[in-house]
Structures are given as structure tokens and as C-alpha cells.
Amino acid sequence: MEFKLDDTYFMKKALQEAEIAFEKGEVPIGAVIVVKDRIIARGHNLTEQLHDVTAHAEMQAITAASNFLGGKYLYDCTLYVTLEPCQMCAGALYWSQIARVVFGAYDPQRGFTVMGGQLHPKTELLGGLMEEEAGELIKRFFIQKRNLN
């Protein structure tokens, strides 16, 4: 499994969503869902704003994509997300039967791969795309947060 030519373009769009989260004081994680080279859904963390631990970027994007498509399955879709999904989001992605997940930075503490989570057997998984950019944004956020407290 390899990255495709336009994967970087779509990851940049996910990073733009992460920047929006950063500006809102949310952990800067962004996501977009693409089908046939078209972005059909966008999301970023809203856990603080909504007071909802489930309001992760992936969850926002899954809901938006399902609404756009008029169904719960994301068979032909690709999720681009700036950080490896957590176990909760991996579970939702599993049930959505999404075709492909591409993420930026690995999450060695809370990522679904270290927590024992899994995606649907037919889902292609690729990690590490623009890992440095995605990781730096998260580091910058937590440094800023520590300095404010």
C-alpha cells in the first residue's frame, strides 16, 4: 500500500481543519473525507466547545459524510486525518466500512493500533503522511497551553 499522488493535497486540507481547531482552543486535529477526488465532509475537534468527549474530528467528519451520502456506509471514501485515530474513532470507522484511512502523525499513547483497536478488514490503512507537520501542530498547541497555565 502506497500513498497516492493527491493524498498530500487532501492531508493539507485536513491540516487546515486542525488549524481551525487550534484557533478555537481545541486539540488541533482535523479530518476530511473524500470520494472520487471530492471533499464531501470536513471536521475538527470540538470536544471543548460542545462539552462532548465524542466530538473528535473523525466523528464530525463521519457524521457529515453520512449525511452527504444519505447512508451510514462510506464504502468508496477515504478519511484523511492529522493524527492516528483513537480506539473510539477506529470503532466508528470500522462500522462505517470506510475504504481507506490515511493519517499524519502516529499517536504512540492513545492511537488505536497500540490500544488494540482495528479497522474493517477491507479498509486500507496508511500512516505517516505529513507526519512532521501534523505532529508539530499538536506539540505547539500543548506548549502554548502549558505556558498559559
Say whether 86 counts as a known binding-site residue: yes
Catalytic residue among 17, 26, 58, 84: 58
Note if 58 is an active site residue. yes
Say whether 77 counts as a known binding-site residue: no
Say whether 51 counts as a known binding-site residue: no
Complete DSSP assignment for the chain: ----TTHHHHHHHHHHHHHHHHHTTS---EEEEEETTEEEEEEE--HHHHT-TT--HHHHHHHHHHHHHTSS--TT-EEEEEE--BHHHHHHHHHHT-SEEEEEE--TTTBHHHHT----TT-EEEE-TTHHHHHHHHHHHHHHHHHH-
Active site residues: 58
Binding residues for Zn(2+): 56, 86, 89
